[in-house]
Amino acid sequence: MPLSEQEQRLLDEMERSLYHGDADFVAAVGRVRTGVNYTALIGGVLLAIAGVGVLLGGVLLHAWPVGVLGFIAMFAGVLLAVGTPRRRAGFSGAPRRRGSFMERLAARWERRRQS
């Protein structure tokens, strides 16, 4: 069902105000994945294929625990293949602490009030 003209104008106005007022949101939404982790992709696909094989083997042997293990392996393979790559936190390898959710929210609110 298409939007009416008034609804479309209201939606456009809300989108413009969101982009204008929330630069952090725009930066997060506009972020593009820079590369593909081919190792995780290939490993995930192979694990998913092996999981399907184990699942079918469990069904053919009427062994439900084997089928469940196959399903778990298949599911883990898909998650590995489509999962987002983790970024490294600098040269030291130590993860950066960004603070709790409430601390980040409060800092963001203060930045918005100051601008």
Q: Which tens digits make up the pLDDT trace of 67-105?
A: 999 999 999 999 998 886 655 444 444 555 566 777 888
Q: Which tens digits make up the pLDDT trace of 45-77?
A: 999 999 999 999 999 999 999 999 999 999 999
Cα of first residue to Cα of last residue in the chain, in angstroms, is: 39
- Name the pTM for this structure: 0.48
The residue count of the chain comes to 115
- Whole-number Å distance between alpha carbons of 27 and 29: 6
pLDDT at 28: 66
